[in-house]
Amino acid sequence: MKIGVLALQGAVAEHIRSLEAAGAEAVAVKRIEELDDLQGLVIPGGESTTIGKLMRKYDFISAVRDFAGQGKPVFGTCAGLIVLAARIEGQEESHLGLMNMTVARNAFGRQQESFETDLTIKGIDEGVRAVFIRAPLIKEVGPEVDVLSTYKGEIVAARQGHLLASSFHPELTDDYRLHAYFVDMARERG
């Protein structure tokens, strides 16, 4: 399995390390041509407005829509989740708009800007280590979206067919199970 990590801005090297630990070949993606021989794509955390802007500049919006349109798995973490969402609270425009959900940016407030916790993730296990950094929350999901994990009653991970999203950063821990879950999604499709 060859999985790309969109390398316009954000936590790229950490995702590559986690994907490799999960048994995939992982590469940084900087040009749309590089999507051609990939079986999956990760959109990392960072700043969603910056990532969205750079995606528009380098033609990644339509290229990733085509990629996902072929049924190839895409995994967005933190800012990457915001990039995948159809609706962003308080903003008129979305970025890729692929997942039928509404997200709220920086949803944890000042008191809890960054923290680590253990989550139960459907299809994986209990005690999955997760790092939240100025994280978004999923406020509302459409009927085709499967909620995979909640934290204090709020949705923090979800899946819509071949699209996967997490509010947190799974790549900043040594817990590779969510990456392994995504590599399995790519494998199932292949």
The residues that are catalytic are 78, 169, 171
**Burial 93-127, CB ≥16 within 10 A → b, else e:** ebbbebbbbbbbbebbeeeeeeeeeebebeebeee
The beta-strand segments (E) located in 30-142 are 40-43, 74-77, 85-88, 99-104, 114-121, 125-133, 137-141
Instruction: Name the minimum Å distance from CB 133 to ligand GLN.
Output: 4
Instruction: Name the minimum Å distance from CB 136 to ligand GLN.
Output: 6
Q: Which of 44, 98, 78, 74 is nearest to 163 (CA)?
A: 74
- Does 82 contact ligand GLN by CB under 6 A? yes
Nearer to ligand GLN, 26 or 83 (CB): 83
- Does 133 contact ligand GLN by CB under 6 A? yes
Nearer to ligand GLN, 40 or 45 (CB): 45
Nearer to ligand GLN, 1 or 155 (CB): 155
- Does 105 contact ligand GLN by CB under 6 A? yes
Q: Distance between the two ends of the chain, CA-based, in angstroms?
A: 9
Instruction: Name the minimum Å distance from CB 2 to ligand GLN.
Output: 24
- Does 88 contact ligand GLN by CB under 6 A? no
Contact by Cβ (8 Å): 94, 87: yes
Site residues (CB under 6 A) for ligand GLN, limited to 29-68: 45-48
Nearer to ligand GLN, 79 or 183 (CB): 79
H-type alpha helices, 32-190: 48-57, 60-69, 79-84, 177-189
Which residues in this chain contact ligand GLN in the complex, by CB under 6 A? 45-48, 78-79, 82, 105-106, 133-134, 136
